[in-house]
A = this chain, B = another copy of it.
Amino acid sequence: MGLIVQKFGGTSVADLDRIRNVAKRVARTFDQGNDVVVILSAMAGVTDNLIRMANQVTESPDKRELDVLLATGEQTTAALLAMTLRAMNYAAESILGHQAKVVTDCAFGNARILDIGADPIRALVQDRKIVVMAGFQGCDINGNITTLGRGGSDTSAVAIAAAIKADICEIYTDVDGIYTTDPNICPRARKMARISYDEMLEMASLGAKVLQIRSVEFAKKYNVPVHVRSSFSDEEGTMVVNEEASMEKLLVSGVTCDKNQARITLKKVPDQPGVAAKVFSPVSEAGIIIDMIIQNMRSGGQTDLTFTVPETDFKQAMAIAEQVATDIGAEEVLGDQNIAKVSVIGVGMKNHSGVAAKMFATLASENINIRLISTSEIRISCVVTEKYAELAVRVLHSAFGLDKP
């Protein structure tokens, strides 16, 4: 018996039949004596349709008004689920972002939660009501409707769970947990029983699109246990929790692969102070996120400057780089979209050396050339030619012992 937050994604509420299934699951949890707060996404495809409609109005729709439009998606599913539960004789009540006092900053389209006044939801829970909240939405201090960005309902769920001090936040989705790597690439991928917040953060930012990264940051900050599981089965999924001593026994917990990467190199840049800023300032001003940066020394007061950007921003970044190259007198600009970033992640790395060496050796044994390297405390990433990416994932998965149960 406890206070449980259950979040259901777009595919879990894609039609009325699935909403009925969600209602049954919520009802069962409630009948077991738990208090339940449900957070919903919009029906799969609805948000995209609304964005498409807005883009028919104008190429760059006003962001405030776009949020007013998008917020209808979650409002619809919240009303429908509450209605369904009511028809099953459960005292359910829907609540919208502004009603639940989900206060955000004013960054329409990508707002950050500043505060959640837990009282409205707590009051409903104390009446033994099943609370059905529209995810993804909040309001700023002036009462304007805001949305939290792609996957924002995850963040709604974890933030609500933190605010009302829920015992657990269950994220129901169309996969049944977090895997050691992408099962489509590596058939030997295994579902993890547990993963630490930090590992999940690295996984999320590297393309394992199960949880919005901000939701994991929230979970870590407020120590909310998150259970990622399938809405189509009763199987246990993966617990995302605080780091545990046992986790450190494993050197590497998972292998990820991000193909949405492109590399840009400026050749023979004059090696003068301030030259890096001249290159990277205009790129970041264009809102393009630079991931890795490498600077190679050359002879004769010149250097090569290489960086990676998301593949979707490649064209724009190339145009900027070519302009900058002319301005600073670099020789030429080379671009390559056929790259991928392969990473190994694990909290165990903190206390063990040799992971990087083992990674490089494993890739070398398959003749996979490493183009760029970057590391964090619990991650090592190598950029390789895209066509070798899947092979790299499989051999690393095996080399670090993740194939075995």
Identify the A interface with B (CB < 8 A). 16, 19-20, 50, 53-54, 56-58, 60-62, 64-66, 68-69, 71-72, 75-76, 78-80, 82-84, 86-87, 93-94, 96, 98-99, 143, 145
Q: How many copies does the complex hold?
A: 2
CA–CA, A60 and B53, complex, Å = 32
Measured between C-beta atoms, what is the minimum distance from A74 to chain B in Å?
10
A54-B80, A57-B16 known; A87+B62 contact, CB < 8 A? yes
**Cβ of A50 to closest chain B Cβ, rounded Å:** 8
B71, B82, B145: the one contacting A62 at CB < 8 Å is B82
In whole angstroms, how far apart are the Cα atoms of A395 and B66 in the complex?
A: 54
In the complex, A348 Cα to B94 Cα: how many Å? 52
Question: Are B69 and A57 in touch, CB under 8 angstroms?
Answer: no
Interfacial chain B residues near A19, Cβ < 8 Å: 57
Q: Shortest distance in angstroms between A95's beta carbon and chain B's nearest beta carbon?
A: 9
Which residues of B are found within 8 Å of A62, using beta-carbon distances?
A: 82-83, 86-87
- Provide a sorted-by-A list of 19 A–B residue pairs whose CB atoms are within 8 angstroms: A16-B56, A19-B57, A57-B80, A57-B83, A58-B84, A61-B83, A61-B86, A62-B82, A64-B93, A65-B80, A65-B83, A65-B93, A69-B79, A69-B80, A72-B75, A72-B76, A72-B79, A96-B145, A98-B98
Q: Report the separation of the CA atoms of residues A195 and B136 in the bound assembly, to the nearest whole angstrom.
A: 49
CB-CB < 8 A to A143: which residues of B? 99
Contact residues of A: prevailing secondary structure:
helix
Interface centre among A61, A76, A80 (most CB of B within 10 A): A80
Q: Do A57 and B84 form a contact, CB below 8 Å, given A65-B94, A94-B68? A: yes
Which of B50, B53, B87, B94 contacts A16 (CB under 8 A)? Answer: B53
Interface centre among A50, A65, A69 (most CB of B within 10 A): A65
A392 to B: closest C-beta gap in Å:
45
The verdict on A83 contacting B98 (CB below 8 Å), with A75-B72, A75-B75 known, is: no
